[in-house]
Structure 1
């Protein structure tokens, strides 16, 4: 974990919260210390403060740190007031019931994909994406669906924030390769994940566009190559587009505090 000196103690504390959350499980002090650039005394002091503020919880018997009750309440409030999730929820429910497939709702955050809601298929498939997780924008269907419709300057900034890590043999590993894909997505309004992030995991996605054609987010149907082909998934595109339009209509009367019209923050 890199020390966040530019924002002082607050920045360091928030970076520490990110680090604890990234483990995806309870974590002990020794593990945090081994991954941290912070001095031992500073790390311990920040942890004590976060625990006292109920942003983290410490089990005195096991020594494990987990997310605190206050942080959970704040996260729930953010989900309710600062994302598309509440507006989209009934539409996702209807789409999930209609298709019986895995459905994702995502927005762009600092050039990456933030999954903000999910409906599992009638027969769930194990995959990376869950609500609350951050994924790479350059190799996910929802990420590409959003990037294809952001303004040029926002796209340039977002591309600089990609890692270009080759997750599979199908992953885009350069901005040039991705830009060609985004051009096709703009022409069709449909984005595909062709096993670009996870082997055997494929999806079809469409952007959720406001009245000016700016992306508020994206929705997708995700499956496995063991169950569907890309042509199969393309058949879900009309239902996805209809749902995206319905979400956009409802979102027009709903203000998302702090959300950029481009669908990307911190770029």
Structure 2
């Protein structure tokens, strides 16, 4: 089962969004995901667009450097600007790659899905996950921005940020009630974060997704500032029925989290 979906699927409308920009991004995503270059006719067919509109989108993306057009075949492929972005993100992807082995090991030890959150531009990005071999396995969607105030990976980072930075983020939060258990005001969040700091890990008890409990532990850089968090997603009913299982999960995530903090410093 998926715990999150992309921000918007084809045909959906979100408040305040720019439809033309969204369409252009979908076209770019289609070309990036394609195993080979695409032609104008491919875009027309896949997006049910008229020829003139499809050409303008492709021409705009090409002019901005996101696509390149083969002069002979007239096919479109990924442009230099995308590779430039990829090179700028190499440091972040290095963290993802180097942590994946521990994610898989944690999933194997706990028999639960594990996931990695990266703190990027004051937001927590779900950057990687590892499935367990359990019959019930929670599948995440990479690239989703996790709520700082309700997700375990979000609270694990927010709780341990320097106080001034933490307060600035809290004051600018827009609380959305995902479930009946979601924290919806700054005072309750501050109390929750205090408890999180005291015990060393964060809990999302049905706060973001009904029926799912998540535990997360921060990963610190050499300055003692959280730059990521490692989390475990469980079916609430299953862990509630076996308290010993939950204790095992916490012990495991604390151990692996400490290991990752040490690894980040080397």
- Is the counterpart of residue 207 in structure 1 residue 212 in structure 2? no
The within-5 A match list for 1:124-203 is 124-126=136-138, 129-203=140-214
Question: What whole-Å deviation, never above 9, does each CA across 1:185-216 have from its counterpart, x for those lacking one?
Answer: 00110110110001101111111123443112
**Are 2:153 and 2:216, in contact at CA under 8 Å, matched by a contact in 1?**
yes
Which residue of the other structure, out of 79, 99, 106, is the alignment partner of 1:95?
106
**Are 2:138 and 2:233, in contact at CA under 8 Å, matched by a contact in 1?**
no
Q: TM-score, normalised by structure 2?
A: 0.69
**Are 2:231 and 2:253, in contact at CA under 8 Å, matched by a contact in 1?**
yes
Show the counterpart of 1:116: 127
Q: Tell me the CA shift for residue 157 of structure 1.
A: 2.6
Question: What whole-Å deviation, never above 9, does each CA across 1:34-77 have from its counterpart, x for those lacking one?
Answer: xxxxxxx9x985653225667469xxxxxxxxx95878766765
CA distance in 1 between counterparts of 2:88 and 2:252 reads 28
CA distance in 1 between counterparts of 2:111 and 2:79 reads 34
| Unmatched segments (≥5 aa) in structure 2 | 1-15, 34-42, 69-76
Which residue of the other structure, out of 235, 238, 249, is the alignment partner of 2:248?
235
Q: Hey, which bits of structure 1, 4+ residues long, moved more than 3 A?
A: 12-21, 25-30, 43-47, 51-57, 67-80, 124-127
CA distance in 1 between counterparts of 2:27 and 2:247 reads 38
**Are 1:190 and 1:205, in contact at CA under 8 Å, matched by a contact in 2?**
yes
CA distance in 2 between counterparts of 1:165 and 1:146 reads 19
CA distance in 2 between counterparts of 1:251 and 1:142 reads 18
Q: Structure 1 residues 155, 71: closer, same or farther in 2, change over 3 A? A: same
Q: TM-score, normalised by structure 1?
A: 0.69
What is the count of residue pairs matched by the alignment? Answer: 224
Show the counterpart of 2:92: 82
Q: Structure 1 residues 71, 97: closer, same or farther in 2, change over 3 A? A: farther
Partner of 2:115, secondary structure, is strand
**Are 1:13 and 1:50, in contact at CA under 8 Å, matched by a contact in 2?**
no
Q: Root-mean-square deviation (CA), in Å? A: 3.8
> Which is further off, 135-144 or 90-99?
90-99
**Are 2:62 and 2:79, in contact at CA under 8 Å, matched by a contact in 1?**
no
**Are 1:79 and 1:85, in contact at CA under 8 Å, matched by a contact in 2?**
no
| Unmatched segments (≥5 aa) in structure 1 | 4-11, 31-40, 58-66, 254-267
Q: Structure 1 residues 15, 164: closer, same or farther in 2, change over 3 A? A: farther
> Which is further off, 118-127 or 135-144?
118-127
Q: Structure 1 residues 252, 135: closer, same or farther in 2, change over 3 A? A: same
- Is the counterpart of residue 248 in structure 1 residue 261 in structure 2? yes
> Which is further off, 44-53 or 200-209?
44-53
Q: Structure 1 residues 74, 246: closer, same or farther in 2, change over 3 A? A: farther
- Structure number, greater radius of gyration: 2
